[in-house]
């Protein structure tokens, strides 16, 4: 076919901010300890796998996780991965514009201070946001969003409030939590992802794989990382595949290398 198929690997850095929505700090033990696994083991294991595969990922970081684990976030950036904003602490957007704006700025300032450069990409913690959310992001210089799951190609967000922004969509089937959350076996996840990727690749769609470093609905466990690494090795053998960050996909869409919905 000869047309490049762009592929992004994204990581949602969900740690204890997930649990702390519902339980107090002192209760983060036992069955509430999944988020601790993400920072202690899961993130390093996932990032090590990406380093072996020479893949630069886009890592979506909640502001509260960056505040709690600044060295981890700096290490991720030093490894060459793209850092993007992911809300403050797993809140929902689109309900209170004033509150949303404050949280967006808090996360923006935290990541900028920590890394020395301002993030230009964003993903809603639960995929819920409003036109006002996008307008607030655009007003702070954000260039792309990766929250939606409504297309197989990037598209412009000018008509949705995000002036000058591009949507870099996800694929629900290719979010690890979709299957790990249902206690899928490793074989089922790999089989499902191979079927989905094969079909998207045949049409040279944009492909976005979303991973989490947690041990419950994420891919932080050793056997899960091994299964995903095997899938990425297989994927590399497909013709005309190029791995990009979400920012790279947005840039490719803008300059015509990747199909862009109008």
For 124-181, the pLDDT digits (tens) are: 999 999 999 999 999 999 999 999 999 999 999 999 999 999 999 999 999 999 999 9
Residue 260 inside a domain? The answer is no
Which token pair is 244? 């990009």
Average pLDDT of the residues in 20-49: 83
Residue 219 inside a domain? The answer is yes
On whether the CB atoms of residues 143 and 250 are closer than 8 A, the answer is yes
Predicted model pTM: 0.95
Angle between helix 43-52 and helix 222-236 axes, rounded to 10 deg: 20
Q: Give 262's pLDDT tier (boundaries 50, 70, 90).
A: very low
The CATH number of the domain holding residue 144 is 3.20.20.370
Residue 125 inside a domain? The answer is yes
Residue 262 inside a domain? The answer is no
Q: Which residue has the tokens 């592929």?
A: 7
Residue 186 inside a domain? The answer is yes
Give the domain extent around 125.
5-254
pLDDT for residue 261: 60
Total number of domains in the chain: 1
Distance, C-alpha 168 to centroid of its chain: 10
Residue 243 inside a domain? The answer is yes
* 204-240 core/surface letters (b: 16 or more CB in 10 A; e: else): bbbbbbbbbbbbbbbbbbeebbebbbebbeebeeeee
Q: Give 61's pLDDT tier (boundaries 50, 70, 90).
A: very high
Residue 75's CB is within 10 A of a number of other CB atoms, namely 14
Give the E-state strand segments of 13-81 in sequence order.
58-61
pLDDT for residue 2: 55
Residue 230 inside a domain? The answer is yes
Residue 261 inside a domain? The answer is no
Mean pLDDT of the chain: 93
């Amino acid at each position: 076919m000869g047309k490049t198929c762009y592929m992004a690997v994204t990581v949602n850095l969900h740690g204890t901010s997930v649990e702390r929505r519902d339980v107090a700090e002192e209760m983060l033990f036992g069955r509430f300890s999944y988020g601790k696994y993400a920072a202690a083991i899961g993130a390093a294991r996932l990032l090590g796998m990406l380093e072996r595969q020479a893949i630069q990922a886009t890592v979506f970081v909640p502001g509260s996780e960056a505040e709690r684990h600044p060295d981890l976030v700096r290490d991720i950036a030093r490894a060459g991965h793209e850092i993007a904003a992911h809300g403050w602490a797993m809140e929902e957007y689109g309900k209170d514009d004033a509150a949303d704006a404050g949280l967006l700025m808090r996360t923006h300032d935290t990541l900028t201070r920590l890394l020395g450069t301002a993030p230009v990409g964003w993903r809603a913690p639960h995929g819920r946001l409003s036109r006002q959310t996008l307008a607030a992001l655009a007003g702070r210089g954000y260039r792309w969003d990766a929250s939606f799951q409504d297309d197989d190609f990037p598209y412009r967000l000018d008509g949705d409030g995000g002036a000058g922004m591009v949507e870099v969509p996800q694929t629900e089937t290719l979010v690890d939590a979709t299957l790990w959350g249902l206690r899928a076996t490793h074989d089922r996840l790999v089989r499902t992802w191979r079927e989905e990727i094969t079909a998207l690749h045949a049409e040279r769609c944009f492909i976005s794989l979303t991973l989490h470093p947690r041990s419950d609905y994420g891919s932080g466990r050793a056997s899960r990382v091994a299964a995903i690494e095997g899938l990425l090795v297989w994927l590399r053998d497909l013709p005309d595949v190029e791995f990009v960050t979400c920012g790279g996909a947005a840039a490719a869409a803008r300059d015509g290398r990747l199909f862009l919905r109008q």
